[in-house]
Amino acid sequence: MVGLIIIVGILFVTNHLKEIPCSLEYNGTHTFSIGNHEITIETISHGEEGPAEVVISGKHFREVLDSLSNQDLYMNVRPASVSWKKIDSKRGRDLLIWRPDGPTGQHHTASVYLSSDDGKLHKLIPPLKRGQ
């Protein structure tokens, strides 16, 4: 019985760890498998502090999202973070793209997600907020 409780607890924790946003590098390319679709997210910082871009590419699309970054040792604001969450109630978990709301990086918004159903970028209405 104790073993079953431990296994259920481990499954519960690992399932919810995917919902914790994972920061992407200041300048880097990441490939994700979402459903049966391969998606590439590229983060581009323009200098140590200021504007940045998040380029999301799939089989039939390419979108560029404006963002911010701050490579200051104490600020460490990345242009984007990602987390997994079931949004559209279809196949599986969808990939949320989080971007900082300001130069301090204390608040982030996910206004778009990549669907595991069709592998495309969709607007998230209303956007999700964290850090508030």
pTM score > 0.85 for this model? no
16: containing domain: 2-130
Instruction: Supply the pLDDT for residue 19.
Output: 60
Domain count, the chain: 1
pLDDT digits (tens, 9 = 90+) for 95-131: 999 999 988 888 899 999 999 999 999 999 999 998 7
- Dihedral sign from CA coordinates of 107, 33, 120, 117: negative
SS3 call for 125: strand
pLDDT digits (tens, 9 = 90+) for 1-41: 666 566 545 545 444 444 677 888 889 999 999 988 999 99
For residues 120 and 118, what is the distance between their CA atoms, to the nearest angstrom? 5
- Order of strands, edge to edge, in the sheet holding 37-45? 28-34, 37-45, 49-57, 62-70
Q: Are 55 and 62 in contact (CB under 8 A)?
A: yes
pLDDT digits (tens, 9 = 90+) for 38-82: 999 999 999 888 999 999 999 889 999 999 999 887 888 999 999
Angle at 94 between CA 76 and CA 7, to 5 degrees: 90
Instruction: Supply the pLDDT for residue 97.
Output: 96
